C-alpha cells in the first residue's frame, strides 16, 4: 500500500503531474510488487516561492523541472529492490516525459503494516 506524493513546479501542461504519477505507479508495479488498483497519489504543483531546493546538493545539478517524490510504503523491501525502484522511476520519467535524471528526487518512508487504515476506521493490515 504505497501512498505517493509528488511535488513539481507549476507546469504549463495540466496533465503533466498525472502523467508523472502514472510512470511512478508503473515502476512500483514492476519493481516492488505493488498490486493492481493499489494506486493512491497526491499530486501537487507549486509556484516558485513554495518549491525550494538546492540546485547543487551532492554535486547533482538540478533544474527548475525538479520532481520530488515521496513514497510511504510498508517496510520490508530489500536494498536491491529500492535501488531498482529508484532507477526505474528516473528512467521512465526521462524516457516518457523528458525529465532529466538529475531532476528526479525520491524519498521512501517505510512504516509498519498496522499504520494504515484504508477506510471504515479499521486497521485492515493489523494482526
Q: Which residues are catalytic?
A: 2
Q: Give the sign of the dihedral formed by CA 117, CA 119, CA 124, CA 125.
A: negative
Give the DSSP letter of residue 75: S
- Pairwise CA distance, residues 12 & 25, whole Å: 23
Closest by CA to 85, choosing from 51, 110, 62, is: 110
- Pairwise CA distance, residues 27 & 83, whole Å: 12
Which SS3 state, helix, strand or coil, does residue 83 take? helix
Amino acid at each position: 500500500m504505497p501512498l505517493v506524493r509528488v511535488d513539481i513546479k507549476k507546469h504549463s501542461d495540466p496533465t503533466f503531474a498525472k502523467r508523472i504519477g502514472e510512470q511512478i505507479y508503473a515502476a512500483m508495479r514492476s519493481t516492488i510488487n505493488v498490486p493492481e488498483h493499489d494506486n493512491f497519489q497526491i499530486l501537487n504543483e507549486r509556484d516558485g516561492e513554495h518549491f525550494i531546493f538546492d540546485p547543487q546538493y551532492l554535486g547533482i545539478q538540478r533544474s527548475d523541472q525538479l520532481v520530488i517524490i515521496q513514497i510511504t510504503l510498508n517496510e520490508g523491501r530489500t536494498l536491491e529492490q529500492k535501488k531498482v525502484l529508484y532507477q526505474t522511476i528516473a528512467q521512465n520519467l526521462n524516457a516518457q516525459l523528458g525529465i532529466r535524471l538529475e531532476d528526479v528526487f525520491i524519498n521512501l518512508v517505510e512504516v509498519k503494516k498496522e499504520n494504515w487504515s484504508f477506510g471504515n476506521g479499521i486497521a485492515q493490515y493489523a494482526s
